[in-house]
Homo-oligomer: A and B are copies of this chain.
Amino acid sequence: MYSKELLKGTISVIILKLLAEHDRMYGYQITRKVIELTENKIQLREGSLYPALHRLKEENLVETETINIGKRVRRYYTLTEKGISVMKEKIAETLDFTRTIERILS
């Protein structure tokens, strides 16, 4: 589990990347996927995820489709056109950043 400050600014790009790979995902599924992918190192919390998803929707980077599973609601998220382009930019920026950090620290 990393110090929480490290995660700042990376949650949104992680979500966008996962959506790009799966074409549609719902919130709870995203939290499970992140935990699985990072072997529990990033425990994306629901208190972090849902506000992040709402922000992405607010910015028109994702759109939603709500379906019913029995009596339960499930909200699927998909990337918009704008979301795809912002995702690419953010990935490039984040990777540039991580490489800069690695260069300084190595």
A80 within 8 A of B: no
The answer to whether B96 touches A41 (Cβ under 8 A) is yes
State how many copies of this chain the complex holds.
Answer: 2
Q: Which of A23-31, A58-66, A67-75, A98-106 forms part of the interface with chain B?
A: A98-106
A81 within 8 A of B: no
Contact A100 B38, CB 8 Å, known A10-B6, A91-B105: yes
- How far, in Å, is A23 (CB) from chain B's closest CB? 17
Residues of B within 8 A of A9 (CB): 3-8
Q: Which of A27-82 contact B (CB under 8 A)?
A: 37-38, 41-42
Q: How far is the CA of A43 from the CA of B101 in the complex (A)?
A: 13
Residues of B within 8 A of A97 (CB): 2, 6, 41
4 tightest A-B CB contacts, nearest first:
A5-B9, A98-B98, A6-B9, A8-B8
